Structure 1
Amino acid sequence: MTNSSFETLDLNLLKVFVVLAQELNTRRTAERMNVSQPAISRSLQKLREHFADELFVRAQHGLIATPKAEQLSLSLPSILAELANVVDHHNDFDPAKLEGVLKVAMHPMLLASVAKRLFVALQQHAPDLRLQVATWGADTCELIQRGQIDFGLCLLPVEGSKELVQRRLWRQPIYVYARDAHPIGDDIVTPQDFESYATALIHVPGWSAARTEAEKFLAAHGVEVTIGFRSELPGSIMDVLRVSDLVYPSVTYYPPEDIPGIRQLQLSEEFKGLALKYDTGYVFHYRNRQNPLYLWLQEILVEKCRDEIFSIN
């Protein structure tokens, strides 16, 4: 592109181009950018005229990028992200001025210990910012790339696009839960106990299709569990524990006051041979890696949402 060509280009059109390249659909692009579909079509026509190329051609299920559009897609997103960071850094970041909705996807095992604390922290530091939490699912990585989810909290590593940044926040161990009157007399659970009593396990679509972290941990110690109940909802697991002799191994820490009728069991010495730590991660799109908001959110997550029993090492 020549200098004169650049000088006549509306930079807002490049924003439209980037989203179109991600969505390959004018309707979804319009929804993401909060404009009408005809407005996106008009912007696309201007882009075609400017670059003297069709850029995106219609196909049966949306649009297909031309070679020219694919070439532009390799560099434009990072260039625009850096430009946004340069502009943002000229402004003093003030969480108290934040508005709108912060959309977060969380692994179900983190909901109980993190969601409430994040809400309280945001109410304190960014009272006009609303929190919307979704369960981490099979399409979460794609939604983060599209900008429909701001960031995710899950167990690392995440298999997804190289466009996603994965930062470790803290490490946490395996916990075991059972009802107060469970036949396991003391608060120590052994490999034999897991063989004697069926387990309840969390199921995360797109995440634990094969085995949960707890299952893999127990298998590493030679324990093959019998699954008595599996659910996507941690609350339903607690309800089942209260009326059964199931045990629930999990990487979730539930504060005792939040789970009446349930007690936490300690793993016996037989389990100490392997590390009991799992990484909790902060996942977001690389375009936000220098964004002051995302850097601040990382600090909030570590300082306000990490239990004192978790390790940052």
Structure 2
Amino acid sequence: MSKEDTVDAHLLKVFCALMAEGSVTRAAVKLEQSQPAVSLALGKLREIFSDQLLVRGRDGMVPTERALAILPRAQALLADLTGLVDATAPFDASSSNHSFTIASPDYMAPVFLSEIVDQIRRKAPNASLVIRALGPDFDFEGALARGDVDVVIGNWPSPPAYLKRSILLQDDIVCLMRDSHSLAQGAFSEADYLAAAHIVPVAYSMAHRGVVETHLSSLRVSRARTVALSYFTTAPYLLLQSDLIFSTSRHFASYFAGLLPLVVRQPPIEFPQMVFQMLWHDRSHHSPMHRWLREIIMQARNRIIS
């Protein structure tokens, strides 16, 4: 029997759990197995790969270089096995204890995520939800391929063509500012807009450039990028006592204008619409569990735009 024939789903689960926990004891608890059983599986893994895989460190077990090289492929294989089972079995949301993961910047109005959380809590009370941020250092394509993330929400002008996608929202770009801002009333020219102090979002992807910056560049003009911010939901609060303005989607601006003494104004420059998309990998396209999650997200979208 060849070595590859001895690697099964059980050993892959043990390996991934050990890599995540850095402890035989914690991995055993996570897997709901005995500590000797996990130790035995680790011994088999070491024999198969001819490497210690995890060795003692100051704060627990640390992976070897060989283990780090194996991990992404092991995660992908395990995810593929899970997807194979999921694709043939119906998904019972009411009894599922699955942990769903959504990756997205925080530029969607909080009411959108609130709707998603509410639907999952009501329909899948034993499930859990992880909402993680996107950033330039986060490989969302790899995370989708490995199954570390179920769906990604973003507004890429050109998302990766091989990923599945669905448009969540197409929205106008507006200007958000305090109600006592000098541009809050009266005429509002292109020169006024470009000269104003702006809050601008920090790109959340190496390949991402925002709709506003892309369009201004095409016009060969630029605005004053006074404050660069990674936290979109913080931007409205920075407007309250400053001369800053924030160009963002209408649904986001309208939400915060309903909470704070802010006003929404139409920009003097005609920008293209922001297109918010949900992306997922082909490996999970036919999975009933993942289809259910995507339907929940689309239902939440329908509620906030209705």
Correspondence for 2:175: 176
1:28, 1:150 → 2: CA distance? 27
* Equivalent residue letter for 1:155: N
Moved more, 86-95 or 26-35: 26-35
Measured at CA, do residues 40 and 189 of structure 1 come closer, stay the same or move farther in structure 2, by a change above 3 Å? farther
* Deviation (angstroms), 1:20: 8.4
Is the CA contact 1:173–1:278 (under 8 Å) kept in the aligned structure 2?
A: no
Measured at CA, do residues 218 and 135 of structure 1 come closer, stay the same or move farther in structure 2, by a change above 3 Å? same
* Equivalent residue letter for 2:22: R
Where in structure 2 are there 5+ consecutive unaligned residues? none
Secondary structure, aligned partner of 2:94: helix
* Deviation (angstroms), 1:261: 1.3
Pick the aligned partner of 2:238 from 231, 237, 240. Answer: 240
Measured at CA, do residues 110 and 234 of structure 1 come closer, stay the same or move farther in structure 2, by a change above 3 Å? same
* Equivalent residue letter for 2:270: F
Pick the aligned partner of 1:288 from 284, 287, 305. Answer: 284
Q: Deviations over 1:151-180 (max 9, x none)?
A: 4322337989x9x94524334443321122
2:154, 2:200 → 1: CA distance? 16
1:79, 1:20 → 2: CA distance? 14
2:278 aligned with 1:277, yes or no?
no
Correspondence for 1:263: 263
Pick the aligned partner of 1:302 from 298, 302, 305. Answer: 298
1:134, 1:233 → 2: CA distance? 13
Give TM-score scaled by structure 2 length.
0.71
Tell me how many residue pairs correspond in the alignment.
291
Measured at CA, do residues 106 and 255 of structure 1 come closer, stay the same or move farther in structure 2, by a change above 3 Å? same
Pick the aligned partner of 1:105 from 103, 106, 123. Answer: 103
Q: Deviations over 1:93-128 (max 9, x none)?
A: 122223364343320212535322212222332233
Identity %: 21
- Give 1:1-313 correspondences, 5 Å limit: 6=5, 10-16=8-14, 19=16, 27=22, 34=30, 42-49=40-47, 51=48, 53-54=49-50, 62-65=63-66, 80-99=78-97, 101-110=99-108, 112=110, 114-141=112-139, 144=143, 149-156=149-156, 165=163, 167-170=165-168, 171-184=170-183, 186=185, 190-203=189-202, 207=205, 212-251=210-249, 253-254=251-252, 256-259=254-257, 260-268=260-268, 270-271=269-270, 275-283=272-280, 287-306=283-302, 307-308=304-305
1:16, 1:144 → 2: CA distance? 20
Measured at CA, do residues 82 and 41 of structure 1 come closer, stay the same or move farther in structure 2, by a change above 3 Å? same
* Deviation (angstroms), 1:28: 8.2
* Deviation (angstroms), 1:235: 3.8
* Equivalent residue letter for 1:144: A
* Deviation (angstroms), 1:292: 1.8
Alignment RMSD: 4.5
1:286, 1:32 → 2: CA distance? 30
2:37, 2:116 → 1: CA distance? 37
2:148, 2:26 → 1: CA distance? 10
Measured at CA, do residues 107 and 200 of structure 1 come closer, stay the same or move farther in structure 2, by a change above 3 Å? same
Secondary structure, aligned partner of 1:290: coil
Q: Deviations over 1:64-115 (max 9, x none)?
A: 349xx97x986x7666545433433443312222336434332021253532
Where in structure 1 are there 5+ consecutive unaligned residues? none
Is the CA contact 1:203–1:230 (under 8 Å) kept in the aligned structure 2?
A: yes
Is the CA contact 1:172–1:277 (under 8 Å) kept in the aligned structure 2?
A: yes
Moved more, 82-91 or 288-297: 82-91
1:271, 1:292 → 2: CA distance? 42
Is the CA contact 2:171–2:274 (under 8 Å) kept in the aligned structure 1?
A: yes
1:282, 1:184 → 2: CA distance? 37
1:62, 1:277 → 2: CA distance? 43
1:211, 1:79 → 2: CA distance? 33
Is the CA contact 2:174–2:253 (under 8 Å) kept in the aligned structure 1?
A: no
Is the CA contact 1:199–1:225 (under 8 Å) kept in the aligned structure 2?
A: yes
Q: Deviations over 1:250-285 (max 9, x none)?
A: 2473263543212222233x425xx333342334x6
Give TM-score scaled by structure 1 length.
0.69
Q: Deviations over 1:129-170 (max 9, x none)?
A: 34343332344437936666554322337989x9x9452433
* Deviation (angstroms), 1:239: 1.6
* Equivalent residue letter for 2:100: L
